[in-house]
Chains A and B, each alone.
Chain A
Amino acid sequence: MSDTIVTHPLVDGAVGPGCKKVDPIVVADGVTRTFGGLTAVDVAHVEIPRHAITALIGPNGAGKTTFFNLLTGFDKPNTGEWSFEGHSLARVPAFRVARKGMVRTFQLTKSLGRLSVLQNMLLGATKQPGENAFTALIKPLWSKREQAITSKAEELLARFKLLEKSEDYAASLSGGQRKLLEMARALMSDPVLIMLDEPMAGVNPALTQSLLGHIKQLKAEGMSVLFVEHDMHMVRHISDWVIVMAEGKVVAEGPPDQVMNDPAVIDAYLGAHHDSDLGDMTGVNPVIEAKERAAEHAAKKEGAI
């Protein structure tokens, strides 16, 4: 970028990779993870802003999902420290991370197939006395909490248009519905930060719109969102902040328009054609042209005979 210092309301100081945020929710320092000789993640410093939708983008193999796994305790780093709302979360097991209010979803949806949709939802709720093996035996000890979370689950299911499916097995849902279910289930615990790993992967365009709406709604309700995504249209559409990773490092960050116009990011990480929709290409198509030529040729031959 040029000499002019770029600023942004979310940022304390100048915008750039690893810049300080005014109100960070997650602060990570020196996080590295190697698999044999390969350094999958090597993040020197990064801060995730609060009350914002942050997109984590980058080419395949950039270490986005690994970084996600490290932050949420699903993988252990070689080095590094990070904190969530001021509490250190490094090397804390995944279930404790979730209890602190940092709840994630998965790239390959993990709906619990042989439980009903409603049971899936109820599993997401926290502070259930019935989850203790001893209190579980006596229903009056947990039935009140069960009622409370059931009505909450039904509310959320209605919002995600899954209420009429609540008694069906989750395995009978379509791929997109499972994505919705997973998001709704994560909301059962009233998370502070919700981390979505490729929420749009394999979802049809109509459902994408409703998912986008739901994600925006999360922010409106005061949650912070961090998501990994490949779909640039979506990133541009809903994110307040974009962090770009490549080869394990944070190479750029900034508001979406600015990051996407960063020539280094465009060329190296999005590819030169990032702006053209492959389906809308109107230019010369060598394959179709060759076929047409061949057909013309054949027609001429036939005519000659």
Chain B
Amino acid sequence: MDWGQILNTAAGELLSPVTAAYALAAIGIGVHFGYAGLLNFGQAGFMAIGAYGFVVPTLLFDFPVWAAFLTSIAASVLFAFLLGIPTLRLRADYLAIVTIASAEIVRYIVSTTGLTDVTGGAAGLSGFNGGFNALNPFADGIYGFGPWTYTENQLWIRVVGWSLVAIASVLVFLLMRSPWGRVVKGIREDEDAVRSLGKNVYAYKMQALVLGGVFGSLAGVIYVLPRAVQPANYGTTLTFFIWTMLLLGGAATIWGPIVGAMIFAALLTLSDGILRGLISADIVTFISGTQAGQIRFMIIGVVLMLLVIFRPQGIFGNKKELSFNV
């Protein structure tokens, strides 16, 4: 059992583009749930919309990278309006139901065989990252050290991914310290009270939904750039992973979603490495390698439950902010 290798892989996962994508998506539902109180259980849908919004125009119409980013953002804004217009006037639970259903609808649509020419069907799409890698300003070579050793293209996607995470965090920070953030947080507490003070609650909820959705779509782009688009990746599991990360870090915090995503991704890889190591060293004999992959998710489920019971405010959350029961 090679502990060095296991720890190395887990440490590498801390900065991987997938982790950056997770963090971005978690910042998105942080805006939705942590600040505005919107229950979005369809962040995977926003990620899928973002990914396909980027990939399809690139492959079909040869869109340059910047234009593909814009179509991806525009698609998620449209999707947010589509979800928000009928549901944001209703109670919070309706949005939850609609988002979870529409994320599944998106996944089924992109994997239908009828649309294989456009979306690639169940097999997905690949070969769209040429344009992105062509923009790489880093010269060929090997960068970094230890577990963080990258080729120029690996470095480039990480730089872009984590820069987006940083921009999103700064944006959220600036918004949430402003009067805009105050209104949004007020809506989280009691929207009728905010309405009685002359604020257009519906418009604010829509803005929050769009903002978090755009972060979700950018997460989708970062998620697929180093690999291929696979519709199977955008199931409800992905949404609940992101929820776990957000709650792990602390919902209404700036650092919560980022650190939550890092810890989650590293733990996922670490537990996988350890389990597989134990199996290959014949210490654990009653489970197979395939089963090990499943068991990690059970562990994550238990961790999520323990978290909600014993530390509902997450790592960075303010205990006081959650301990009051209004």
Contact = CB atoms under 8 A, between A and B. Distances in A.
A112 B321 CA distance: 11
A98 B198 contact: yes
Given A99-B198, A106-B192, A189-B197, 19 more contacts: A94-B196, A105-B196, A106-B196, A110-B190, A112-B193, A112-B194, A114-B324, A119-B186, A122-B179, A123-B186, A126-B198, A131-B179, A131-B183, A133-B180, A136-B178, A137-B174, A142-B179, A172-B324, A185-B197
Nearest to A185: B197
Given A72-B196, A95-B195, A123-B186, A113 B180 contact: no
A85 interface: no
Contact of B174 (A110, A123, A128, A136): A136
A115 B196 contact: no
B186 A104 contact: no
16 contacts: A74-B192, A95-B197, A98-B196, A98-B197, A106-B196, A110-B190, A112-B193, A113-B326, A114-B185, A114-B324, A123-B199, A124-B197, A130-B180, A146-B179, A172-B324, A185-B197
B305 interface: no
Interface of A: 72, 74, 93-96, 98-99, 103-106, 110-115, 119-120, 122-124, 126, 128, 130-133, 136-137, 139, 142, 146, 169, 171-172, 182, 185-186, 188-189
Contacts of A189: 197-198
A169 B180 contact: no
Contacts of A182: 193
A137 B197 contact: no
Given A98-B197, A98-B198, A130 B171 contact: no
Contacts of A132: 180
10 tightest Cβ-Cβ pairs between the two chains A and B: A171-B324, A113-B326, A130-B179, A110-B193, A136-B178, A98-B198, A136-B180, A112-B189, A99-B198, A110-B190
Given A99-B198, A103-B196, A103-B197, A112 B190 contact: yes
Nearest to B200: A95
Interface in B194-212: 194-201, 207, 211
A113 B179 contact: no
Contact of B324 (A93, A96, A113): A113
Interface of B: 171, 174-175, 177-183, 185-186, 188-190, 192-201, 207, 211, 320-322, 324-326
A87 B180 CA distance: 29
Contacts of B211: 133
B163 to A, nearest CB: 18
Contacts of A111: 193, 326
Contacts of A98: 195-198
B183 A171 contact: no
A103 B194 CA distance: 11
Contacts of B183: 123, 131
A137 B170 CA distance: 10
Most chain-B Cβ atoms within 10 A of its Cβ — which of A104, A119, A131?
A: A131
Contact of B186 (A115, A139, A188): A115
B189 A114 contact: yes
Contact of B321 (A114, A120, A123, A186): A114
Nearest to B322: A114
A109 to B, nearest CB: 9
Given A95-B200, A131-B199, A189-B197, A137 B171 contact: yes
A188 B197 CA distance: 9
Nearest to A113: B326
Contacts of B186: 112, 115, 119-120, 123
A144 to B, nearest CB: 12
Contacts of B201: 95
Contact of A169 (B195, B197, B324): B324
Contact of B182 (A104, A123, A126, A133): A123
A133 B175 contact: yes
Contacts of A106: 192-193, 196
Nearest to A69: B192
Nearest to A195: B196
B196 A119 contact: no
Given A94-B195, A114-B189, A128 B324 contact: no
Contacts of B185: 112, 114-115, 119
B34 to A, nearest CB: 11
Most chain-A Cβ atoms within 10 A of its Cβ — which of B178, B189, B201?
A: B178
Contacts of B195: 74, 94-95, 98
A182 B192 CA distance: 13
Contacts of B326: 111, 113-114, 171
Given A95-B201, A103-B198, A113-B326, A131 B180 contact: yes
A120 to B, nearest CB: 8
A72 B192 CA distance: 11
B197 A123 contact: yes
Contacts of A128: 179
A72 B196 CA distance: 8
Given A103-B196, A115-B186, A130-B180, A136 B175 contact: yes
B113 to A, nearest CB: 41
Contacts of A172: 324
A139 B178 contact: yes
Nearest to B207: A133
Nearest to B191: A110
A95 B178 contact: no
A95 B198 contact: yes
B199 A95 contact: yes
Contacts of B188: 114
Nearest to B195: A94
